[in-house]
Structure 1
Amino acid sequence: MGFSGIENKKDAQKIIDDCIKSPTRRVMTTNGGTMLAQYEKEYAKGVGICVCGEIDDNGQFYYDYMYPYVRGTEVSSYDDISVERHAEKESYAGVCDDTRVGVTMIFYLQDAASYVRVKNSDLLPIKGTSLSLSALSTEGKIYLPLDKNPTQVRQYEKAVSKRQHLVEAARTGDEDAMELLTLGDMDTYNIISNRLRDDDVLSLVDTYFMPYGVECDQYMIMAEILHVAHVSNSMTGEKQYVMKLTCNDIEFDLCINDEDLYGDPQAGRRFKGQIWLQGYINYPARSKRTGSK
C-alpha cells in the first residue's frame, strides 16, 4: 500500500487525519440512532485508505477503525452473496459460493456504509447484484507460465466447463453428478501423485485458490497475470504493482509493494502468494450489468 514506514499509532494518525480532511469519497448513513461515516482517500489509482467511525449530533467524528483497500475493476462473480457483521466492530464479511473456485470465498466487505444503508432500507435481497473482488498482498513471487499449446488450452476450458455443470448439478442433489465429481477427483489425485515423482508441482498446477492461516478471508493463490500497472503512493512515494489476475477463471485486481514482490511481473506469467481478499458489491443502481441474485 506504500505505507511501510508506519511504525506506531502516531504515524497512523497522520494518515487518518489526511483521509478525513481531504477524502476522495465520503459515505454517511444511519444505523439505528447512530450516524456512520466512511472516508476514503486514494493514494494511487484505485488504491487507498478507508477510515470508518461515527458522527455525533454536534457533527464530531469519532474514529473506529481503518483499513487499506484496492478497488476491483472487473465483475468477478454474479453468484449469490451473503453478508455477516464482524462481532467486534461495524465491519462486514461477505460470502460467495462460486462453482469455479471450488471453495467458499469469504472476503472483507468494502463500502460497508452502503451495505448498511441498503439493509436498513429493507431492500434485501436484491436481484441483479454482482461482486468485484480485489486483494492485497505482503509477500509474493513471480513464476514463468506453463507451456501449453492451443489444443491443451481448449481441452482445459472444456474440462472446466464440464466440472462447473457437474458442481451445479450436485448442489441440487444429483447423485450421479456427485459420483462423477468424486471419481474425477480421485483420477486427478492419482495422475498428479504419479507425475510428482519426476516433476515439480508448479509445472503441473496452473492456478489454485485455497484458504490459508486462521483468518477466514486470507488465501494462498497461484494466478495468471493479465495486466500490470506500476503506481506510486502520492504521500510516501513508495512504488506498488497493481495486477489484474485470473485464478480458476475468477478475475480480480491485486496490489503489492515493490519490495514485497520477488520477480518481474509481466502479462502471461504467474503470481504466487498470500492474499487478503476484499470485495465490493455492485448494486443495480450503480452498475448497468445484470446477473442472478
Structure 2
Amino acid sequence: MHRYLRAVGFSKVHKREEYEALAQFTAECYQSEETTVTAEGEEFSERRKAFADQMGLLARGVYDENDEYHMDYCIPYFSGKTERFYEDMTIERQAEKEAYCGVCDDMNLGVTLIFYLQNVTEYLNKRRYGRSDSFSASLILSGLSVEGKILMPVYQKTPVVSEIKSNQERSRMIQAARNGDEDAIENLTLEDMDTYSMISRRIADEDVFSIVTTHFMPCGVECDHYNIMGDILDVELRENSKTGEKIYVMTIESNSIVLDVCINEQDLLGVPERGRRFRGIIWLQGLVHFEEKW
C-alpha cells in the first residue's frame, strides 16, 4: 500500500484489500491512457484517474500478447503549475520496476535535485529513437505531503530586491565553483562560515525558525523525499470526488524554488494563508516537458 494515498484524499484506505480494490477501479475506470514499448519489447501503459483537479491515481502495467492488461502498481500523483527550465537533466530507471527518477542540478540549492518522474511513457517514447540520456527541459515540480505545519512569517529587514540580488549572486558563484573557480569556492566557504557564526550567536536567544526562514533538504533514506519550509504564495482547497475529503493545495517558495504541494486537511496543523510558512516532508514528483528536438 502506498503511504501517500492520503495526500490525494484516501486517508481511510488501510487494508490491502481496500488498496487493491481502489487500484483496480483506477485501472478499469481510467480517464486517460498513454502507451509505449519498453526496451524488453513489452507494451507499457500509464492509466490516469483524476479525483480532483490535477490529482488522482496513476496505474502502470503492461499488455500481454493477447492484448490483455496486467497492472503492475498504482500510485498517487499530483501535478503542479509552475514551470522551470533545467539543463543537464538525466533520468534513471529504478531497479525493481518500470519507474524512473529525474536528476538535475539546482543552483539555488547548490545540490542535486532528485524527483519521481510522472510521465514515464513520454520519456520512453523519446528513448526509443536513441536520444541522449542528458538533456535540457522544462520541469514542473510538485510535492505530496502527509504531515505538515503552518508557521507564522518572519519580519524581514532586508529589502526583497536586495535578497533577490543576493540569491542570484550566490547561484552564479555556485555555478562558477562547479566549473573549478577557486575564488568562488573560497567566497562560498567564507559565506558559509559567516552564516554558521551568525546562527551560533543568535540561537541562544531566538527560536531556530526565526533565524532559518526557509530550507529545502533531503529527508530519510529515499532520495526523492525532502523536508521543506517556505513561504505560502497561494492556497486552494480541493475535494476528492470519491471520498469527499478536503485537500489543501499550496504554492510554496522554498530556497527560491517555487512548487505546489498538496496535503490532506486532516494532516495539516494550522490554517494556511498567503504570507504564512509551511513546513513538512514531501514526496517530490516532476512532470518533464520534453522538447521536440531532444
Q: TM-score range by the shorter chain?
A: over 0.9
Gaps of 5+ in 1: none
Aligned to 1:41: 49
Deviation at 1:125, TM superposition (A): 5.1
Aligned to 2:159: 152
Work out whether residues 76 and 132 of structure 1, in 8 Å CA contact, stay in contact via their aligned partners in 2. Answer: yes
Runs of 4+ in 1 over 4 A off after TM superposition: 125-128
Structure 1 partner of 2:128: 120
1:206: how far off? Answer: 1.4
Matches within 5 A, 1:33-112: 33-112=41-120
> What is the distance in 1 between the residues matched to 2:109 and 2:153?
20
Equivalent residue letter for 2:177:
A
Cα distance in structure 1, aligned partners of 2:71 and 2:286: 23
Q: Which residue of 2 aligns with 1:224?
A: 231
Matches of 1:80 and 1:237, distance apart in 2: 41
Q: Structure 2: which amino acid aligns with 1:92?
A: Y
1:142 to 144, 150, 154: 150
CA pair 3-257 structure 1, distance change in 2 beyond 3 A: same
Deviation per CA, 1:159-203, whole angstroms, max 9, x where unpaired?
111111100111111011101100110011101110111111111
Equivalent-residue separation in structure 2 for 1:80 and 1:59 (angstroms): 38
Query: Which residue of the partner structure matches residue 214 of structure 1?
Result: 221
Secondary structure, in 3 states, of the residue corresponding to 1:97?
A: strand
What is the CA-CA distance between 1:240 and the residue it aligns to? 0.5
Give the TM-score taking structure 1 as reference length: 0.93
Structure 2 residues without counterparts, runs of 5 or longer: 1-7
Query: How far off is 1:120 after superposition?
Result: 1.4
Aligned partner of 2:286 in structure 1 is 279
Q: CA deviation at 1:126?
A: 7.5
What RMSD, in angstroms, separates the aligned Cα atoms of the two structures? 1.6
Q: Counterpart of 2:268? A: 261
**Aligned partner (choices 252, 255, 270) of residue 245 of structure 1:** 252
Taking structure 2 as the reference length, the TM-score comes to 0.93
Per-residue CA distance 1:110-130 (angstroms, 9 max, x = gap): 111111111112133576511
Change (3 A) 1:94 1:71: same
Deviation at residue 79 of structure 1 after TM alignment: 3.0
SS in 2 for 1:169: helix
Instruction: Give the total of aligned pairs.
Output: 286
Cα 1:80–1:94 shift into 2, 3 Å: same
